A = this chain, B = another copy of it.
Amino acid sequence: MNTTFDAQNSIRAETLMSEPTSSKTELSELGEFGLIRRLTENIVLKNESTLKGVGDDCAVLSFKDKKVVVTTDLLTEGVHFNLMYVPLRHLGYKAVTVNLSDVYAMNAIPKQITVSIAVSSKMSVEALDELYSGIYLACDRYGVDLVGGDTTTSLTGLLISVTAIGEADQQDLVYRNGAKDTDLLCVTGDLGGAYMGLQLLERENEVFKVNPKMVPQFTGYDYILERQLKPEARKDIPLLFKELGIKPTSMIDISDGLSSEILHLCTQSEVGCRLYEDRLLYDNQTRKMAAELNINPLVAALNGGEDYELLFTLPVADNDKIRNHPDISVIGYITPMNEGVNLITAGVGQAIPLQAQGWNPLKE
C-alpha cells in the first residue's frame, strides 16, 4: 500500500476521522481468526432486526412483516480505486455507502451489511484497521450492523465485496419500472462533482509521479474531493418522501452517470423522456474544476457517475409538494416511449438522443 501521496489532510472529510498509526504488524502474526477477532471485537449491534451478528456459520436476522432488500457491490484495486491517492479509511467508508445508496434507491432502510475482503499478505494489520475504521464509521452514521464477512488473501491487490440488507413496508418499495407518461423526472443534490474530484486527484497524482516533492494543489476543492473519496448515500430522502407525503413512481441511484440511469428507468418503465440541460445543478467547485480542465460539466453529470444521488419520477400532481425544495431538482419529464430518451440542450433547445456511455456533446 502506498499512501505517500496524501490527499487526506486536504479535505474537510478527513477531520471526521482519526490519524493513521505508523506501526506495522504482519497479517501472519494474527492469523485469520485472530484478524477477524481484532476487526470485529468492538461491534455493538444496533438493530432489533439483527438477532445474531458475526461469530457463527451465519448471521441471523428477523424482519417480521417487512420486505427484505439485498444488494451487493465489488470494488477492486486499480479498477475502482487507486491506493496512491485513496486513503483506506475513505475507501472503507465508500465501500459501504455505495451499497447503502442502492437500498435507499428502493425507498428502503438499510439495516445490515456483510464485508468480505481479499488483501495482499503484505498489507499490515494497521492498514486493515484503517480500512475498517471507515467501514465502522459508515455503519455508525447510517445505523447499520456489520453482521458477517470473509477475510482472505489475494495474490495481488485489495478487493472489497459488500452486501447490504435493508427493510421496507411492501407499499413503500419503489422499483425502476413504474415511471409513467407525464411524470416529473427529478434528481436530488448536484451532479458531476465526484467525476471532477477524480479528475483533480488524477491530475495531482500525475504531477506527483513526475515530481514527488510538488505539493498537491487541492485548496478550494474540498467538496468535490469528498464527493469522490467519501461519498454519502441519501438516507434523508426516503424520510423526506414520507414527510412530504409523496412516493416516487420509479427510482434508481446514480452510480454510472445520469445518462445510464435515465436509460435504465426509461427502458424498464417502457417510456421515453425529455431531460433539460439547463435544469441540471452543479456545485461551484464542479464548474470551476471543469473550466480549469476544459471539460463541459454536462459530460461529468451524464457520464461521470459516482454521484450517489437519487433519480426518480413523480406524478405531475405532486409538483407543488416538491417545488423549490432545496434537495430536489425537476430536470425533465416522462414521455411516451416512441418519443425517445432525449437531452434538450440549453439555448437552442435541440433534442439529442441520450446514450448510455461515452457520449460527448463536445464531439457531436
Contact = CB atoms under 8 A, between A and B. Distances in A.
Interface of A: 31, 33, 51-52, 55-65, 67-80, 102-103, 105-106, 108, 112, 114, 116-118, 147-150, 152-157, 159, 161, 163, 165-166, 170, 173, 175-177, 251-253, 268, 356-357
B159 A156 contact: no
A341 to B, nearest CB: 15
Contacts of A252: 57
Given A61-B68, A155-B78, A55 B268 contact: yes
Secondary structure at the A interface, as helix, strand, loop or mixed, is strand
A76 B60 CA distance: 26
B60 A68 contact: yes
A154 to B, nearest CB: 5
Contacts of A173: 60
Most buried by B among A57, A61, A69: A57
A74 B106 contact: no
Contact of A114 (B72, B166, B176, B177): B72
Contacts of A116: 72-74, 161
A59 B79 contact: no
Most buried by B among A73, A74, A150, A268: A74
Contacts of A118: 74, 76, 79, 159
A75 B154 CA distance: 9
Given A152-B76, A153-B76, A157-B155, A105 B58 contact: yes
A356 B33 CA distance: 10
Contact of A71 (B57, B64, B75): B57
Nearest to A151: B74
Contact of A176 (B31, B57, B149): B57
A108 B175 contact: no
Nearest to A64: B65
Given A56-B106, A108-B58, A72 B150 contact: yes
A170 B60 CA distance: 9
A166 to B, nearest CB: 7
Contacts of A108: 58
A112 B74 CA distance: 18
Nearest to A118: B76
A112 B105 CA distance: 21
Nearest to A51: B67
Contacts of A114: 70, 72, 163
Enumerate the 3 nearest inter-chain pairs by beta-carbon distance, A residue then B residue, closest first: A58-B69, A161-B161, A57-B105
A153 B72 contact: no
